[in-house]
């Protein structure tokens, strides 16, 4: 996304690991955090950001590291 979007506006990617029918569904909280990150002035000019598991990271460096658990690795590039 960083290569295709050339502007200073924040681009926030959000998702959920647990279904909406789960007791502790994480989708609504992740969406709320994505909106907060999108309006935060420091989110400008950082490229695409990803919000998952109460973390904000650069989407370019974020990868799924475990197939059955909600583990994402952002290396040293999380905020």
Radius of gyration of the chain (CA): 13
CA distance 61 to 16: 18
Range of the structural domain that residue 65 is part of: 11-73
53 SS3 class: coil
What percent of the chain shows pLDDT beyond 90?
A: 22
- Count of structural domains, the chain: 1
User: In this structure, is residue 49 part of a structural domain?
Assistant: yes
What pLDDT, on a 0 to 100 scale, did the predictor assign at position 32?
94
User: In this structure, is residue 79 part of a structural domain?
Assistant: no
| Residues 22-46: tens digit of each pLDDT | 888 888 999 999 999 999 999 999 8
User: In this structure, is residue 52 part of a structural domain?
Assistant: yes
The residues that bridge with 55 in the sheet, in sequence order, are: 52
What pLDDT, on a 0 to 100 scale, did the predictor assign at position 79?
45
User: In this structure, is residue 4 part of a structural domain?
Assistant: no
């Amino acid at each position: 996304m960083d290569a295709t979007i050339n502007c200073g506006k924040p681009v926030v990617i959000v998702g959920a690991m647990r279904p909406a029918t789960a007791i502790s569904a994480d989708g609504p909280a992740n969406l709320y955090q994505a909106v907060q990150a999108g309006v935060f002035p420091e989110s400008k000019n950082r490229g695409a950001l990803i919000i998952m598991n109460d973390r904000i990271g650069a989407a370019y460096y974020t990868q799924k590291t475990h197939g059955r658990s909600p583990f994402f690795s952002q290396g040293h590039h999380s905020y």
